[in-house]
Amino acid sequence: MKFLIILVYLFIQTNNFQIILEKTTHKQEIILDCNYTFEEAIKGIEIPNSISKQLTLISVEYYSFDDRLHKGQLVVNKKAAKDIEEIFNFIKESKFPIAKVIPAVKFNWDDDASMNDNNTVAFNYRKVKGSKVLSAHSYGMAIDINPLQNPHIKGKVIQPAQGKYNVNASGTIIRDSKLVKEFVKRGWQWGGRWKSSKDYQHFEKKN
């Protein structure tokens, strides 16, 4: 009888260990999309000190289109960091797919190259296309999400060129979605609600 009790005890302990091991292993199965230091993430471009001192580097986790958990990084304004971290927690929990999240330095600060790679990015010191005005991205107060699924459309011009807005496609941001509401309730504006053009990938907040 004692022998049987010992066997049952060992069986339970073994199974508990297996569950713990599986959980631990699962936690370790995170695909690292990038691993920059802050200095590395803002190098290669001249950024005014008045702006660079406002920036910070944060890590975020998300499920990509391969249904696996990934970890990426965003350079954002310190004022926006808490919002973005909370929103990415929602993105992760809801399993809204994000292709990748890598700072713009990876693409030599080329916004077109970043969009063409379907990269989600926040800070990029640049002007609004076709103007002399600095973009909200220049202050780390804007983020572009899944550009291929959520392109910028103005008339017949689509950016990125191979982007396609299909409300039924995975990773697409749509009006009145929970993701849009998560941004809006924190004071962010969605480019999908603009009148002169539709920038479905774009969210920004006044600095």
Boundaries of every domain in the chain: 30-204
pLDDT score for 13: 53
Question: Which of the pair, 11 or 207, is modelled with greater confidence?
Answer: 207
Distance CA 59, CA 33 (A): 10
The tens digit of pLDDT for each residue in 107-143 reads 999 999 999 999 999 999 997 777 778 999 999 999 9
pLDDT level of residue 27 (50, 70, 90 thresholds): low
pTM value surpassing 0.75: yes
The tens digit of pLDDT for each residue in 140-165 reads 999 999 999 999 999 999 999 999 99
- Arithmetic mean of pLDDT over the chain: 90
Is the pLDDT reported for residue 204 higher than 70? yes
pLDDT score for 18: 46
Work out the average pLDDT over 17-34.
63
Is the pLDDT reported for residue 17 higher than 50? no
